[in-house]
Structure 1
Amino acid sequence: MSPVLSSVIRPSSLICAQCLEIDLSVASRHLALLRTAGVLKATKTGRTVVHEIQFDAIIEALRAISDTLERARDGFTSAASHPSSAARTTQETP
């Protein structure tokens, strides 16, 4: 049976459990967490649940992380280039 056809016939959690050699309940819990986090979208047809990766949501989250890391790096670089002002700021903070 082709992988595409088998993924349509068998539930996503069963496929994950078999591929990863983990218990079905563990795969179901992980898929539920990924749905709750917005990483996956589930569509149910009868007894079959098809999970789709939400690429736009993942890209948005990764961009936000990247922006935050760049701001932190810039702040760190700026503070490192002026050690005397960084020392005064540290001493003034209770």
Structure 2
Amino acid sequence: MPMLKETKELLSIVANQKNGPVPAWLPKDAIKRLEGSQPNTERAEAVINQLKSGEKHPALGDKIRKAEKELAEYKEQNIGQTQKRGARL
């Protein structure tokens, strides 16, 4: 089973919406950040939070909840492993 499948599926749907609540580049970038051996979930979480605040369609709401649960489970399994951040201090 691919890692974070539900989350990637949701992000893909949102990225393909023409007039969606989130600019298309944001979920596309989130998908890229989820690839690899140590996925960075921050952007995906930000997209999901934006979607939750503007949730209108019940089917999308179900996908949002599944992706949110999947991310929470992933983070629970990977406690202690810090995510790399792009900003330098």
Normalising by structure 1, report the TM-score: 0.29
Identify the structure with bigger relative contact order (alpha carbons < 8 Å, sequence gap 6+).
Answer: 2
More helix by share: 1
Normalising by structure 2, report the TM-score: 0.30
Q: Which has the larger radius of gyration?
A: 1
